[in-house]
Structure 1
Amino acid sequence: MNTTKLDLSIIGIVGLVLYLLGNWAIAVTDPVESNYTLTALEMLRSGDYVSPRIYGNYWYDKPAFFYWELIVAYKLFGVNEFAARFFPGVFGALGLMLTYLFAKTIYDRKTGLMAAGILGTCFEYWLLSKTIITDLTLFVFFNGVLMAFYMGYSTGRRSWYYLCYILAGLATLDKGPIGILLPGFIILVYLCIRRDFREILRLKWILGLALYIITAGSWYYAMYTIHGMDFINNFLGVHNFLRATQSEHEQWNVWWYYTMIFFAGCLPWCWTLPAAIWKAIKRQQLPQLDMPAGFLLTWSLIVNIFYQCMATKYTTYTLPGLLPIAILMACYLYKRETLVKRTVAVMLVVYVVLTFAVAAPVCNTNGYSFKNVAAVYKDQIKEDDVLIMYGDYRTSAVFYGDKIAYKVERAESIPGMLPDGKSWNAKNVMPFMAIEDIPTDKNVYLILQEKAFERFDKEFNPDEWQLLGDIEYARVYLRKAK
């Protein structure tokens, strides 16, 4: 086995152990993880692997690729927490291997090993490699586009460009149009900075776009054929255009948001971030121009600037920018190899402790998941019984309880909460039921979320409801049929 294969094997094994360890003990949390796990489960049970669905309704929040990953994992390991977290961990390890290969190619083996170690122990990277979301899959495909471009551009072997389009297609299947728009924008900006406008014409546009359309377009075409403009209006209109133009979380729409997130995400390496960026800037001086550093700098800065310009802010959006930053930090710490090794070793231990001492108990007991709530009624609720939820809706109760719950509100309030295709209400695809319409001829199970504790006596007759379980952040009641 040559040195490169040995390095890749070690990086891959360490990454898999770190990112998969303890996942069986971490409950599926709300609101994001449970949406993905339940959607994939409903697709699996329906036998329809094209159209994502949740609560029995079609769901256009994300393309299908990540759901396909979950379905494969369910078939391999069963429907459980380890299966749900399996592919984020796999792609986390794969991302480290790609980082090593790319850094080794553009610099040397030592830089590659240091970059993989730095990236793998960044707090955000570790956290998202254990989280049931699309971002680690996007990380690999998105950054793969840029790696393939640079390999083709720096070596003159433009057949690499074809791989760019295929990977962009996979990124688009995972996250949407951003999978081609943002890496494509980074490439164009970089070529403009270098004033190499002729290379723009050499990007294999015709055959490349054909490969992209074949890779990504088949699913989008199938969805349009099946669902028509409803898919276009919701997927592109709400979940893409609306996110870019209207803030979902107004309090975080501030200019310093992603700067703060990036520093926090780079822990424990964030102290090197300003110096690493400044060193990369200085290395853009002739005659000793560091071409790879210029590309990495362009790559990381545009990811952060682009998302800062978007109205909706999410902590995970700038994750792809960690890869080039990790390589730049490895360049800055090149002569401090011992420090890097010791820090990586310490952080590996820290993350193992965090997994079992923090992540598992917090996700299982502090209201982030309703797994324990579902356990109260799961073994006794019947098919004809009704399950309702009052307060914040928690999809994890549906996933773990294997029973769709109705969100109950006063009849006059429900119309203002229903999806309208023009606002964030489009995400409210859970079934609703008016309090006035709760049936009396069926057993009704009520999940009362903690924010609604004080309203229970006002909206319901407490004498009619039997308390089955009190779990601090939620209570479960039963009203038997009359």
Structure 2
Amino acid sequence: MTSVKKQCATLLGIALYLFLVGNWAIAITDPVESNYALTAKEMLLAQNYLSPQIYGHYWYDKPIFFYWEVIAGFKLFGINEWGARFFPALFGVLGLFMTYWFGYKVYNRAIGFMSALILGTSFEYWLIAKAVITDMTLFVFFNAALICFYLGYSRLQRNYYYGAYFFAGLAVLTKGPIGLLLPGLIVILFLISQQNYKELLRMKWLGGTVIFLLVAGPWYYFMYKTHGMEFINVFFGVHNVLRATVSEHPRDNVWYYYLGMFVIGFFPWIFTVPAMLKRYWQDRRSQLNTKSFWQRWCTFDQTTTFLLIWALIIVVFYQLMATKYTTYTFPYLLPIALLVARQLHERYSFVKRVVLNNIILYTILTFAVVIPLCAQYSAKNIGYIVADHVTAQDMVVSYGNYKTSIDYYSGRLVYRIEKSEDIPHMKPSNMDWNTKNVMPLLAAEKVVITPQVLAIVENRRMADFLQDVGGTWSMIDSLSNYTVLQKK
């Protein structure tokens, strides 16, 4: 077996093990994973593969590609945790081989292999490869677009540019306009740094635009023709413009938010970053013998400059956005892993020890932490209790913290109980975060007059439930946070 085959076999074995082990036992969690899983489940059962729907209604939170992934997993393996998590894990494997290949192209095979090992055993990458969220898919498409650009630019093989348009189209199908706008910004700033403005004229605009539109355009056109301005207002207005201008979680809107995410997400390799930066900077100083920041920056080689701009622009861009999420900056781990691998490539034994330790650590975390913790952030047990006791005539309601995973695991539509005077202020409206309240709302007064009701009540709100709803109830089952009641 050649060294190339050994590297590929090693990388494949590590990736499949880390990203798939235990997935059959990791419950679908609230609030994010359950939204994706329930949407894919409803689309599959309705044989509707174009318009995302949840709680029996269309909704426009994300584009279609990731739902197709989850649906494909359900078709292959059934509607279960393994099926939901299979394709995110597969994209995690693809992301590592993409990194390996790119590292080989711009440096050498050893650095490419080491960068893939570093990336795959970083905490955030491992975690997202096991999660039912869009970010791993976006990671692959977003970064593939930038890789194709850079290979086309650096090797003067401009047919690679067509690949950049193709993957940008897939990124837009996965996350929205950001899949084109942010890679485009990175490319433009890089060309400015190289003072090569003429390259913009050589970037295969005509053919590339056709490819991009053929990949991303049909679904967006279908959604507009089918759902009209409601789709435009909610998808582009709320889930893109509003996220950028109004913080959904104001407490997270602090300058150090993504710095903290980087320290956590790039663990344990974060400890190598200070030494890496020091070595890069010393190299620049020895080459130029100056203390000028700008002069040192200008002495970076072309590939390092591109990787630095790639990583830094992602951080700065999302730091300027009003809404911050832990996974927004995730794509920058690829260029950072390459920069770290370039400095560590002569210390393969050290890297190998860290990788082996991480495999052991993540195995322990999977079974000792992730599986129990996800069970706490999921209503899987409640959903199964509801499925076992509900009848066709029962109305199922929830009081307190609403868990979408109950709908997913029980197979029943669950209404969220609120006071009648509060419901009008909670219903979705244009350019308002209430647009995310797509779960069915039901006035407490309606529950009072309904004869057959199954209620899931948050334990700490039990007194409020009995006061708002009243009636006589019998307990079916009680767990740590919720109690299932049936109206007598």
Tell me the equivalent position of 1:230.
Answer: 230
Find out whether 1:476 has 2:484 as its counterpart.
yes
Where does residue 251 of structure 2 map in the other structure?
251
* Number of residue equivalences: 477
- The question of 1:291 aligning with 2:299 is answered no
Residue pair 1:277, 1:297 contacting (<8 A) in 2 also:
no
Q: Contact between 2:445 and 2:469, CA under 8 Å: does it hold in 1? A: no
Counterpart position of 1:392: 401
Post-superposition offset of 1:6: 3.9
How far apart are residue 282 of structure 1 and its match? Answer: 5.9
> AA paired with 2:409?
Y
SS in structure 2 opposite 1:419?
A: coil
Residue 172 of structure 2 aligns to which amino acid in structure 1? T
The amino acid across from 1:129 in the alignment is A
**Contact in 2 for aligned 1:281/1:294 (Cα 8 Å):** no
Q: Secondary structure at the match of 2:254?
A: coil
CA RMSD of aligned residues (A): 1.5
- Where do residues 317-396 of structure 1 align in structure 2 (5 Å cutoff)? 317-364=328-375, 366=376, 368-396=377-405
Q: CA deviation at 1:4?
A: 3.1
> Given the superposition, is the C-alpha separation of residues 415 and 278 from structure 1 closer, same or farther in structure 2, using an over 3 Å criterion?
farther
1:305 to 307, 316, 325: 316
2:266 maps to which residue?
Answer: 266
Instruction: Render the CA deviation track for 1:326-345: whole Å, top value 9, x for unaligned.
Output: 11111122232211110000
Where does residue 314 of structure 1 map in the other structure?
Answer: 325
1:142 aligns with 2:157: no
Are the counterparts in 2 of residues 145 and 168 from structure 1 also a CA contact under 8 Å? yes
Q: Distance in 2 between matches of 1:431 and 1:302?
A: 40
8 A Cα contact 1:245 1:311, kept in partner = yes
The one-letter amino acid of 1:132's match is V
The one-letter code of the counterpart of 1:71 is I
State the alpha-carbon separation in 1 of the partners of residues 163 and 460 from structure 2.
50
**C-alpha deviations, 1:114-139, integer Å up to 9, x for none?**
11111111111111110100000000
AA partner of residue 337 (structure 1): Y
Q: Equivalents in 1 of 2:142, 2:242: separation in Å?
A: 22
Deviations 1:267-315 (A, max 9, x none): 0111122333454466668787422111111101111111000000000
Matches within 5 A, 1:164-243: 164-243=164-243
Structure 1 residue 153, shift from structure 2 partner:
0.6
Answer yes or no: is the 8 Å Cα contact 1:284–1:290 preserved in 2: no
Q: State the distance in 2 between where 1:280 and 1:249 align.
A: 37
Q: Which residue of 1 aligns with 2:80?
A: 80
Q: For 1:432-451, what aligned pairs fall within 5 Å after superposition? A: 432-438=441-447, 440-451=449-460
CA distance in 2, matches of 1:282, 1:157: 33
State the SS of the aligned residue for 2:398: strand
> Conserved in 1, the CA contact under 8 Å of 2:475 and 2:484?
yes
Instruction: Between 5-14 and 330-339, report the one with greater CA deviation.
Output: 5-14
Deviation >6 Å, runs of 4+: 284-288
Of 335-344 and 272-281, deviating more is 272-281
Identity in percent: 48
Give SS of 1:412's match: coil
Where does residue 52 of structure 2 map in the other structure?
Answer: 52
Q: Which amino acid in 1 is paired with 2:306?
A: F
Partner of 1:156: 156
Residue identity in the other structure for 1:101? W
Structure 2: stretches of 5+ with no match in the other structure: 289-298
Relative to the length of structure 1, the TM-score reads: 0.96
* Contact 1:283 1:290 survives alignment (8 Å): no
- Seen in structure 2, the aligned counterparts of structure 1 residues 387 and 96 have a Cα distance that, compared at 3 Å, is same
Q: Which moved more, 1:20-29 or 1:331-340?
A: 331-340
1:61 corresponds in structure 2 to: 61
Q: Give the letter for the 1:104 counterpart.
A: Y
Work out whether residues 135 and 327 of structure 2, in 8 Å CA contact, stay in contact via their aligned partners in 1: yes
